[in-house]
């Protein structure tokens, strides 16, 4: 099979997703502390509107895999062996390292008196459920997806399944959601990949049909687009904006009044908001790649290339920043405090991951595969086409 073309806009999608992730994490404290503030709608907006981050990474993981491997009738033993070797090196090992690091950080901050046996039991339980820290579920469900990928690749060779993959993904995901709500009642269902089947299936559909869909995805801001492209984009962006604002409004109402509705309402709005967001961001990334000044485009691409390491690391700086709060009261000071947390979490993690890949030979152990853009700077220890958030398509 010939090597697929490298899609240069994908790092920009990852950068936009990373911006969303840190927006959600940096405002989470404000949604609890500032319910009575006149600025609460703004805090809630940034916390809910930007929830597209991790779901976009999930969809991109599927998209890149199916785009790269979709032309194969099967994964030959050598290819399959290399596939899993790279997932072990560049996903599972960084996941274990991050889990150890975050477990130790929380142990030192909150559980110093806990005994050794209890600590070990707690650690391995968290490691095997993706819950050593709040953001690590994403890596844990990605590992589940990698295990299932060869079977999914075989499944999607069926033209019927591929044609119906989007509604089928929604059906499977919502079947699990309803089953869990009314029977299983698994508390950490977010650590189970079935909670995100619609994203994996939509990513598979786009990846396997990319050459057909690409003219539409790249049409934003172009002159002379066919009418069907304009109607399709208008429908997508209209649906996305509708679901996004409904999602924001419902959470604002619930948080500000402490009145809550059926959990399925929040789940549905989150699902359709973030599912449409991922395709919106893909269209937007192709547009930005063409229109941005060169320096800003390169900055976004670097952020996207480093996003897996930044994703793993940024909660450390956010936690330390919050531990030593400097604001002295007042809504404006608190707003600056929240903005400062965002800047610290993004800026320092970006700097550390960049420096690690630039100067440390085994940085992949903590931050995943060395990005394509660093290949010319030093000998990398990676494969191309890795599907972690910060690696290449």
pLDDT tens digits for the chain (393 residues)?
556 888 999 999 999 999 999 999 999 999 998 999 999 999 999 999 999 999 999 999 999 999 999 877 677 889 899 999 999 999 999 999 999 999 999 999 899 999 999 999 999 999 999 999 999 999 999 999 999 999 999 999 999 999 999 999 999 999 999 999 999 999 899 999 999 999 999 999 999 999 999 999 999 999 999 999 999 999 999 999 999 999 999 999 999 999 999 999 999 999 999 999 999 999 999 999 999 999 999 999 999 999 999 999 999 999 999 988 777 667 888 999 999 999 999 999 999 999 999 999 999 999 999 998 786 565 444 443 344 454 433
Residue 3 lies in a domain: no
Is residue 118 assigned to a domain?
yes
Q: How many structural domains is the chain composed of?
A: 1
For residue 384, being part of any structural domain is answered with no
Domain-embedded: residue 312: yes
Evaluate whether residue 383 is within a structural domain: no
Spatial neighbors of 28 by CB under 8 A, at least 6 apart, are 47
Structure confidence by residue, pLDDT tens digits, 157-178: 999 999 999 999 999 999 999 9
Q: Write the DSSP string, 190-210.
A: GGSGGGGHHHHHHHHHHHHTH
Asked if residue 101 is part of any domain, the answer here is yes
Q: Is residue 387 part of a domain?
A: no
Query: Quick check: is 382 in a domain?
Result: no
Q: Measured between alpha carbons, how far is 126 from 141 in angstroms, rounded to an integer?
A: 13
Query: Who's near 331: CB < 8 A, 6+ residues apart?
Result: 34, 37, 38, 39
Burial of 228 (0-12, 13-18, 19+ CB in 10 A): exposed
For 282, the enclosing helix (H) or strand (E) is helix 263-291
Q: Tell me the C-alpha distance between 143 and 91, whole Å.
A: 8
Q: Domain of residue 231: give its range.
A: 10-374
Q: Shortest CA distance to 305 belongs to which of 361, 200, 376?
A: 376
Cα distance between residue 44 and residue 37, in whole Å? 11
């Amino acid at each position: 099979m010939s090597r697929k073309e490298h899609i240069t806009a994908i790092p920009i999608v990852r950068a936009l997703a990373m911006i969303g992730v840190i927006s959600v994490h940096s405002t989470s404290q404000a949604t609890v502390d500032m319910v009575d503030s006149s600025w609460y709608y703004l805090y809630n907006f940034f916390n809910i509107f930007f929830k597209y981050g991790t779901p976009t990474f999930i969809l991109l993981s599927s998209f890149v895999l199916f785009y790269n491997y979709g032309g194969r009738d099967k994964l030959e033993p050598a290819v399959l062996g290399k596939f899993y070797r790279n997932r072990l090196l560049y996903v599972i090992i960084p996941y274990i390292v991050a889990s150890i690091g975050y477990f130790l950080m929380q142990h030192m901050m909150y559980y110093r008196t806990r005994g050794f046996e209890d600590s070990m039991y707690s650690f391995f339980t968290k490691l095997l459920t993706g819950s050593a820290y709040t953001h690590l579920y994403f890596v844990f469900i990605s590992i589940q997806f990698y295990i299932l990928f060869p079977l999914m690749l075989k499944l999607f060779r069926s033209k019927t399944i591929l044609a119906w993959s989007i509604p089928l993904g929604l059906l499977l995901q919502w079947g699990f959601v309803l089953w869990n709500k009314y029977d299983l009642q698994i508390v950490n269902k977010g650590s189970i990949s079935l909670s995100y089947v619609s994203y994996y299936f939509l990513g598979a559909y786009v990846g396997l049909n990319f050459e057909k869909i690409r003219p539409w995805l790249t049409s934003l801001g172009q002159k002379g687009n066919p009418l069907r492209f304009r109607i399709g984009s208008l429908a997508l962006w209209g649906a996305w904006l509708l679901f996004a604002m409904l999602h924001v409004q419902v959470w604002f109402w619930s948080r500000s009044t402490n009145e809550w509705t059926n959990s399925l309402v929040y789940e549905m709005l989150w699902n359709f908001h973030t599912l449409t967001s991922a395709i919106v961001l893909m269209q937007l990334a192709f547009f930005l790649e063409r229109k941005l000044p060169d320096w800003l485009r390169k900055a976004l691409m670097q952020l996207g290339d480093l996003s897996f390491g930044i994703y793993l690391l940024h909660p450390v700086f956010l936690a330390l920043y919050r531990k030593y709060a400097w604001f002295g009261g007042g809504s404006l000071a608190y707003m600056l405090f929240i903005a400062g947390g965002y800047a610290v979490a993004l800026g320092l993690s970006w700097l550390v991951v960049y420096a690690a890949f630039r100067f440390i030979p085994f940085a992949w152990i903590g931050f995943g595969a060395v990005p394509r853009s660093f290949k010319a700077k030093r000998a990398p220890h990676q494969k191309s086409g890795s599907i972690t958030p910060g690696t290449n398509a």
